[in-house]
Amino acid sequence: MVQGGKLKVFKAKKSGGSQRRKAGSNKKATKGRKAYSAKGRKTFGAKADASTTKAINAKNEAMLSGRAVSAGSSFFLNELKEMGKSAIDDQNRDRTKLETKKSNKLTNRLKDQLQKLGKDI
């Protein structure tokens, strides 16, 4: 008699973890984060901010690429990181100045309105 003639060879049972990973990989890709365009009077400010940012980025790119080409192989990304960090710090400083310049407290707002009306406080 042939050895193992009646034995059937089954595939190895897959683990639960591999099943879960497989199920996750077949999911449909999402469209991504939703972006809403600004409406009303916010549009002018949003477009101005976007164009300003693009202009700054283009200027920085041109300056850095010029530096990288002129420096040859001695150009390090540390310089780029430090410049970016200082630019962000400057922007944050300006933003906090703008936010704290005009206080949102009720008394200060009322005082401002009275001054606009020409009343002395």
Q: Would you write out the chain's pLDDT as a tens digit for each of its 121 residues?
A: 566 566 677 777 878 777 777 665 556 666 777 777 767 777 777 778 888 889 988 998 888 888 878 877 777 778 778 888 998 899 888 877 766 666 667 888 888 889 889 887 6
Determine, yes or no, domain membership for 27: no
121 touches 115 (CB < 8 A): yes
Which residues make Cβ contacts (< 8 Å) with residue 114, sequence separation at least 6? 121
- For 97, the enclosing helix (H) or strand (E) is helix 77-101
pTM: 0.34
How many folded domains does the chain comprise?
A: 1
Determine, yes or no, domain membership for 1: no
Show the domain range for 65.
49-121
Determine, yes or no, domain membership for 34: no
What does the radius of gyration of the chain's CA atoms come to, in whole angstroms?
A: 31
